[in-house]
Structure 1
């Protein structure tokens, strides 16, 4: 069992990858102590949200600004590589890719001791209160830009 303390928020590294430590709790697992497949989506969401917070972007501020927007996942392709288990100390890596109009492209990797547990290719979209796609505000795009990495 890994008993190291985990920080409560992540940070961007010099490599422009955001890393968020997360702990697997009993509530994340099925009857066998293995992480239930849907819980990986929660870990990825935490990584995306924390990475935006590190850029000074909050969901609450986006929703309450003069021209409100929200972010929604439009598409996600998840590959489950290995099983995570109760008490595992994991790290969610979030990698920003070039923006495509209203679409925000990200890659995410969930690791345990450097080993890949799961990956996700994510397409999120900015949308207005009526649900129509909309380009992100310039301030958001400018905050995002220094961390964008080209496709491999």
Structure 2
């Protein structure tokens, strides 16, 4: 009898926050075992993508349907303390502003598995604009702004 692997566990909403777990692998680090600075952006991107998927914002369908796609237009990041090989990380994402063609998401990466005891390693703020296939800003697809507003208000979405 072969044991099946456990099902994929995505992130989850906790009130107005989206929580996404990650682990630091060898490939994420430099020679000293510290996470390379650009990899924090990868953890944040994965968390944002997971948050959108859970909220029912289908980025792939929008791209394939010719509506457009998201592009990061502004990014601020502050590194506080390094993550290290084998650390368990928690990426906490919060929608802080919703506009017709963009959304602002604040994110923190913590060492540990919860927001109460975790040490904040990195804080960031990302503005993403929805762009037409030609690369021009355009309004988000119908209903997306409403979903972002619901996230800001702490409404939950099924996984």
The TM-score with structure 2 as length reference comes to 0.84
1:45 aligned counterpart, secondary structure = helix
Match in the other structure for 1:33: 33
Residue 122 of structure 2 corresponds to residue 118 of structure 1: yes
Separation in 2, partners of 1:96, 1:51: 10
SS of residue paired to 1:87: coil
Q: Is the 8 A contact 1:29 1:85 kept in 2?
A: yes
Distance in 1 between the 2:125 and 2:60 partners? 25
Task: Provide runs of 4+ in structure 1 moved above 6 Å.
Answer: none
For residues 146 and 37 of structure 2, the distance between their equivalents in structure 1, rounded to whole angstroms, comes to: 34
- Aligned counterpart, 2:147: 143
Per the normalisation by structure 1, the TM-score is 0.88
Query: Unmatched 5+ residue regions in structure 1?
Result: none
The alignment covers a number of residue pairs equal to 142
Residues 8 and 21 of structure 1 are in contact (CA less than 8 Å); yes or no, is this contact kept in structure 2?
no
Secondary structure in 2 matching 1:97: strand
CA RMSD of aligned residues (A): 1.5
Matches of 1:12 and 1:123 in 2, distance apart?
20
Q: CA deviation at 1:75?
A: 0.8
